[in-house]
């Protein structure tokens, strides 16, 4: 039989069989998904694996089979989730599950001893394939990533993965992998967990695999008793459900219910997946989370390519400039941080040193710090590919800086401001070649937030903008291209939302009730607490450019006059105790809270719509992505525009 996505062979083993006398013959299944850079456990791959085992089991003298990937990218990245979108009812979902389960059972129950040689990602369905094998070996020294990330898509393992994993490594570790969706990323972690049986160091892993094939079929131990099982579930509930709104995380609740209903019983866990997985697949939350996954991939694809940027000058050693410099060093770039204030540079260097020591092992911390250099302006920074200006949001200051910077750097150097709201045309107004200035708007904290707004103007060279997009991808950020306009995308949408909340508070709605309503909706922080975190003076400055209601302007003016600027001064809309706002965090009537949230989010949604309609953002999907990645807009909704279609 001919195969499109895999190859069967056995001739590679002939020369080595004599080392294990009682083994007559070993087969190889090499996974190589046609037309893709990564292997996926698609319906076609499932069918071919089924046929491959039909073929192998019919052969005389075979004792074992080794399964591995021909792809440098990894073992198997998971199911082909694009196929999920074709499944419209539970019957079709269950049919896909059963086909995969039958194939995996065929591997597990075969008289052939199976060994999976794993490198790179073995995620979701890819891990389930590896778990169906008798033994799993990881490539020594190679990259590894094994886990159940299905919760990121609002799902759970669906091909009997909870049963196989719980039988192999226990319920506690399996539940944690399913609920956290975090993979194990070192060989030692996989071996310690029991997911891997050892390492292979040889090029093809044959010698190591043959040693395990000689051991024969794997025998499994018993599950823990019912009392221990229930204790594990109780702990998981406390860690993953307490204090959270189940409507936002139905998949996490379903995973725990699945383990609770099945108990320490292999077949009950298998049967439970056939009940819960289809329900989750057809649920709106999963559909929205799968949409966000697809959006993430779409944004990343925009940023592919070589930016040819390795040396960056960051101008401004304040908190934002320092964080940008730190992040870039961590990503392997050489960074020259400049400022007129020597004390600010010294503080930034100490901040970088502490951050690297906290986040990296000793060797990597030393390497990162070696790429981090500081200097006083107006030193001429040689070999600089990109200048990122992160000076305070004062137009005359930025204009003067860019006049100076333009004179220091050659024509091939890219120029970008980190301004969050100022007009780039105005910033570039005094430059000799104003067409060179673009925007790279990082979000605070720059070391954590995934979004970068790449701000472009009609006068910019398209190739330069493309390099900035590639640079954002190079450093692991998610870039959204936004045309220069007041507030760009995120601030243009976020500030009207904050101002609507302040206006509601002025008109008598309790601040705590406002913030709790938006937390109930799924926002990571209420708008009034967020305003205090940003700083009421900064909100006012941005509002002065974007526009704000008169009573909000008067309210913020009064706060600024009193120096009640928010968290940084200990008082703003709330009193602050260090990093915590002093508020009641009360419980309010749900229907009223929903109406309040809808009212306050309306201006945010309207601003997103206007950005798309006016051509500042190319597509509504990118507006949704920007708000999700830049503000923490709840993923389970699919984004502000998607969640209010029609």
Per-residue tokens: 56: 């192998």
Q: Assess whether 208 carries a catalytic annotation.
A: no
Q: Which of 491, 505, 513, 636 is catalytic?
A: 491
126 three-state secondary structure: helix
Residue-by-residue DSSP string for 561-596: HTT--BGGGTBSSSEEETTEEE-------HHHHHHH
48 contacts 5 by C-beta, under 8 angstroms: yes
Q: Assess whether 491 carries a catalytic annotation.
A: yes
Q: Which of 208, 389, 453, 503 is catalytic?
A: 453
Q: Which of 420, 460, 484, 485 is catalytic?
A: 420
d(CA 421, CA 447) in angstroms, rounded, equals: 20
165 contacts 184 by C-beta, under 8 angstroms: no
∠ Cα 393 417 421 (to 5°): 45
Per-residue tokens: 479: 């870039």
Smallest CA-to-CA distance from 115 within 4, 29, 19 is with: 29
Sign of CA dihedral 386, 389, 395, 399: negative
d(CA 441, CA 611) in angstroms, rounded, equals: 17
d(CA 451, CA 605) in angstroms, rounded, equals: 19
Place of tokens 């694809």: 301
d(CA 201, CA 267) in angstroms, rounded, equals: 36
Per-residue tokens: 339: 């400022």
Q: Assess whether 441 carries a catalytic annotation.
A: yes
d(CA 57, CA 49) in angstroms, rounded, equals: 12
Residues near 15 by beta carbon (within 8 Å), at least 6 away in sequence: none
Q: Assess whether 246 carries a catalytic annotation.
A: no
Instruction: Tell me the catalytic residues.
Output: 420, 441, 453, 491
């Amino acid at each position: 039989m001919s195969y499109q996505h895999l190859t069967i062979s056995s001739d590679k083993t002939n020369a080595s069989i004599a080392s294990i006398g009682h083994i007559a013959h070993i087969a190889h299944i090499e996974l190589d998904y046609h037309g893709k850079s990564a292997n996926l456990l698609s319906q076609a791959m499932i069918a071919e694996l089924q046929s491959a085992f039909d073929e192998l089991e019919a052969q005389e003298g075979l004792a074992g089979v080794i399964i591995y990937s021909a792809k440098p990218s990894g073992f198997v990245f998971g199911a082909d989730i694009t196929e999920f979108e074709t499944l419209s009812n539970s019957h079709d979902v269950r049919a896909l599950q059963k086909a995969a389960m039958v194939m995996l059972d065929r591997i597990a129950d075969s008289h052939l001893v199976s060994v999976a040689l794993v490198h790179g990602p073995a995620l979701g369905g890819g891990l389930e394939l590896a778990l169906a094998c008798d033994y799993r070996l990881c490539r020594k020294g190679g990259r590894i990533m094994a886990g159940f990330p299905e919760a990121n898509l609002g799902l759970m393992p669906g091909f009997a993965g909870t049963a196989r994993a719980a039988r192999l490594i226990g319920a506690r570790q399996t539940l944690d992998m399913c609920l956290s969706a975090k993979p194990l990323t070192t060989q030692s972690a996989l071996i310690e967990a029991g997911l891997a049986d050892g390492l292979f160091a040889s090029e093809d892993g044959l010698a190591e695999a043959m040693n395990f094939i000689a051991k024969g079929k794997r025998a499994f131990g018993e599950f823990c008793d019912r009392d221990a099982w229930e204790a594990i579930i109780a702990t998981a509930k406390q860690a993953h459900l307490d204090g959270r709104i189940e409507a936002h995380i139905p998949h996490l609740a379903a995973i725990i219910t699945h383990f609770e209903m099945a108990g320490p019983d292999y077949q009950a866990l298998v049967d439970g997946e056939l009940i819960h997985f289809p329900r989750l697949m057809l649920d709106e939350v999963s559909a929205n989370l799968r949409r966000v996954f697809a959006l993430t991939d779409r944004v990343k694809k925009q940023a592919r390519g070589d930016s040819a940027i390795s040396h960056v000058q960051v101008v401004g050693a304040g908190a934002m400039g320092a964080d940008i410099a730190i992040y870039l060093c961590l990503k392997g770039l050489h960074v020259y941080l400049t400022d007129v204030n020597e004390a600010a540079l010294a503080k930034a260097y100490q901040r970088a040193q502490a951050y690297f020591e906290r986040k990296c092992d000793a060797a990597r911390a030393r390497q990162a710090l070696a790429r981090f250099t500081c200097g006083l302006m107006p030193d001429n920074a040689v070999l600089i590919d990109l200048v990122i200006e992160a000076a305070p949001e004062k137009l005359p200051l930025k204009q003067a800086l860019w006049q100076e910077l333009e004179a220091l750097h050659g024509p091939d150097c890219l120029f970008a401001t980190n301004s969050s709201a100022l007009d780039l045309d105005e910033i570039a107004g005094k430059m000799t070649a104003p067409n060179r200035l673009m925007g790279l708007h990082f979000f605070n904290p720059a070391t954590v937030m995934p979004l970068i707004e790449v701000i472009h103007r009609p006068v910019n060279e398209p190739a330069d903008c493309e390099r900035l997009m590639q640079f954002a991808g190079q450093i692991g950020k998610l870039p959204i291209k936004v045309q220069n306009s007041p507030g760009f995308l995120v601030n243009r949408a976020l500030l009207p939302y904050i101002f609507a909340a302040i206006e509601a508070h002025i008109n008598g709605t309790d601040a705590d009730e406002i913030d709790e309503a938006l937390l109930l909706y799924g926002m990571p922080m209420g708008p009034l607490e967020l305003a205090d975190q940003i700083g009421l003076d900064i909100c006012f400055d941005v509002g002065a450019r974007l526009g704000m209601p008169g009573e909000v302007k008067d309210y913020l003016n009064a706060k600024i006059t009193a120096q009640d600027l928010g968290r940084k001064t200990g008082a703003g809309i709330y009193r602050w105790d260090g990093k915590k706002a002093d508020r009641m965090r009360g419980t309010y009537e749900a229907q009223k809270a929903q109406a309040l949230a809808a009212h306050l989010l309306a201006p945010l949604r309207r601003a997103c719509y206007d950005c798309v309609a006016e051509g500042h953002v190319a597509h509504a999907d990118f507006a949704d992505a920007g708000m999700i990645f830049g503000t923490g807009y709840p993923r389970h909704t699919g984004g502000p525009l998607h969640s209010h279609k029609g």
